[in-house]
Amino acid sequence: MRTIERFPSLTAMFFARAQAGGDAPFLSRKRDGMWQSLSWRDVAQQVASLAAALKAEGLRPGDRVMLVSENRPEFCIADLAIMAAGCVTVPTYTTNTIRDHAHILTDSGATAVIVSTAKLAKTLLPAVLRSQARLVIGMEPIRGMQGDSVRCALWDTLIAAHPADVAACAAAQTATRDDLACIIYTSGTGGAPRGVMQHHGSILCNVEGALKLLIEDFGGWEDEIFLSFLPLSHAYEHSGGQFLPIISGAQIYYAESLEKLAGNIEEVRPTLMVVVPRLFEVLRARVLKGIEKQGKVPMMLLNQALRVGEKRLTGRSSLLDLPMRLLVDRTIRPKVQQRFGGRIKAMVSGGAPLNPDVGIFFHSLGITMLQGYGQTEAGPVISCNRPKVGIAMDTVGPPLDGVEVRIAEDGELLVRGELVMHGYWRNPAESERVLIDGWLHTGDIGEIDAKGRIKITDRKKDLIVNDKGDNVAPQKIEGMLTLQPEIGQVMVSGDKRPYIVGLIVPDAEWVRDWAKAKGVASDLPSLSQNTDFIAAIREAVDKVNADLSVTERVRRFVLADEPFSVDNEEMTPSMKIRRHVIRTRYQQRMDALYKA
């Protein structure tokens, strides 16, 4: 069995894997309808040459370099080259506004920027011209970059002008596990993003622990294939979708887009993917709708599959369930597995809580889902479900190897280990607030069960405390509501109030179908005045209320004007709702729900 080496840095790990990989394919992207690959040798050569170019341009060890790019081979190459030059990567979201870019440029003190396309440069360059950055490198030709204060260069030109010896570059890597690798800015669910200082050891601890899980729970790692589609600027994909494949010696395919993801999965046939719960909520709704259209018998078979699947997952299965399991294995499961390529080992869900019903749904249909948990401040993966320990969908599994956890007196989950950040960039006060005696105070409320599995009950700061002092977990209620076909998104509120109220975004597909059946317009402004429409939403809310305690029930609700999205800044790029932004916009309407 292959063993896990302990590398001194991320770049040392990469060059070791590149030497072993040679001409085998490593990074693949679709161009002109065909998947095109770069070998490990090709990528190592570009990394070494770009690192030499950065040094030639005057960048010094410790300088910060902002990286603005969608998921593509050049993102990985740039990230590694920045680190190989002794600099620090500052990856940022492609959805950032001029204001967002300006904040990160100013806060990080980045002296150079690498950007992929002219489109992304439109919101970036105005911020660059007002910053201390003096170099902009375009992966593709970018117009409008002329300026006396900023030198502009083209990716291909720089790499061609600085051919480098890969072995010499690899030998020159002096970074240690304690050295700063990147500054990842949190997506800001509660305010201005803060720069999390991730050192080499933080990410290495994460990927070593994840690889150990893969070896012990899935029988080793051989010819793994990852499909990358979550933003690489997010810590979850950065570690799990980039550096985990590197330490695994795996291939990485970059998905074309979220819209083409389903097709890409069938083409690439990945063995592992990291995903967010929202994707599976959407897929679950589509599967359900497709089966409903097939008639009563397929729907009955699905319900039986879910019943048997839940019993099997919770250890309550019996021989009486065997005939149904065999029937499901021959009918439903093959079709669902084929949609995911047919060789998927597991999909690891993280970034936000996964509703247990969603996890049970896909497990019952033959897709192994491992819910993980973490924070940018911890590399980011802290724990993950493990088949050998036993998968419980209401937990996020035991901590990874090398990670300590404990529960504080107030219920807060504390984490310690090499994965924990060294602090927030240029923010000692906030660093001291969350890092106490070596323990990261996560801000999450949790429990640890008899098998060492962590159960997160809610965010400490998001807990609703009603006027009677009762604690209410909003994410639990929101998760249950969005499983209803009528409800696409929701945010509940009720802090220091007598009861819970909701802000609801109706599901777009359900709205179209309902309006068509009723012969009315499907725009939300007119539907919000339609009593039949409101009654249908009310019925969906009441279904959920029936399974909630009195203090958790949503008494009243109002409809949002439009879906929560990244574009209107009401969601983060990792698909979490930004409560403070939504509250600011809808505060008056939600307050009115408490008036007689």
Comparing CA positions, the residue from 557, 550, 552 lying closest to residue 502 is: 557
Cβ contacts of residue 52 below 8 Å, gap of 6+? Answer: 85, 162, 164, 169
State the DSSP code for 451. T
Torsion of CA 494, 498, 500, 502, to 10 degrees: -70
Cβ contacts of residue 213 below 8 Å, gap of 6+? Answer: 384, 386, 400, 401
State percent of the chain over pLDDT 90: 62
Could you tell me if 473 and 500 are in contact, meaning their C-beta atoms sit under 8 angstroms apart? no
Give the per-residue pLDDT at 308.
Answer: 82
Give the per-residue pLDDT at 2.
Answer: 64
Give the per-residue pLDDT at 392.
Answer: 87
Least confident of 202-216, 452-466, 519-533, 549-563: 452-466
* Residue 513 pLDDT > 70: yes
Work out the mean pLDDT of the chain and round it to a whole number.
Answer: 90
Give the per-residue pLDDT at 436.
Answer: 96
Cβ contacts of residue 452 below 8 Å, gap of 6+? Answer: 389, 398, 399
Phi, psi at 196, each rounded to 5°: -90, 125
Give the per-residue pLDDT at 310.
Answer: 81
Give the per-residue pLDDT at 189.
Answer: 47
Give CA–CA dist 501/553, Å, rounded: 8
Strands (E), 313-368: 346-349
Task: Give the pLDDT mean for 199-218.
Answer: 94
* Residue 85 pLDDT > 60: yes
Strands (E), 470-559: 471-472, 487-493, 500-506, 554-559
Could you tell me if 271 and 224 are in contact, meaning their C-beta atoms sit under 8 angstroms apart? yes
Q: Map out the domains of the chain with their CATH numbers.
A: 10-203 (3.40.50.980), 276-459 (3.40.50.12780), 464-592 (3.30.300.30)
Residues 429-482: tens digit of each pLDDT: 999 999 999 999 999 989 999 999 999 887 777 778 787 777 788 988 998 999
Task: Give the pLDDT mean for 210-235.
Answer: 89
Phi, psi at 198, each rounded to 5°: -100, 120
* Residue 95 pLDDT > 90: no
Give the per-residue pLDDT at 147.
Answer: 56
Sign of CA dihedral 17, 22, 25, 28: positive
Comparing CA positions, the residue from 403, 467, 25, 369 lying closest to residue 207 is: 403
* Residue 255 pLDDT > 90: yes
pTM more than 0.75: yes
Comparing CA positions, the residue from 323, 394, 313, 329 lying closest to residue 366 is: 329
Categorize the per-residue pLDDT at 550 as very low, low, confident or very high, splitting at 50, 70 and 90: confident
Give the per-residue pLDDT at 146.
Answer: 55
Give CA–CA dist 531/155, Å, rounded: 58
Cβ contacts of residue 535 below 8 Å, gap of 6+? Answer: none
Comparing CA positions, the residue from 436, 570, 553 lying closest to residue 492 is: 553
Sign of CA dihedral 245, 247, 251, 253: positive
Give CA–CA dist 520/529, Å, rounded: 12
Give the per-residue pLDDT at 144.
Answer: 58
For 210, the token pair is 């994840």
Residues 117-141: tens digit of each pLDDT: 999 999 999 999 999 999 999 999 9
Give the per-residue pLDDT at 258.
Answer: 81
User: What is the residue type of 563?
Assistant: P
For 565, the token pair is 């999205």
Give the per-residue pLDDT at 420.
Answer: 98
* Residue 596 pLDDT > 60: no
Give CA–CA dist 493/557, Å, rounded: 10
Give CA–CA dist 278/564, Å, rounded: 13
Residues 355-389: tens digit of each pLDDT: 888 888 888 888 888 999 999 999 999 999 999 99
Pairing of strands 554-559, 500-506: parallel
State percent of the chain over pLDDT 70: 98
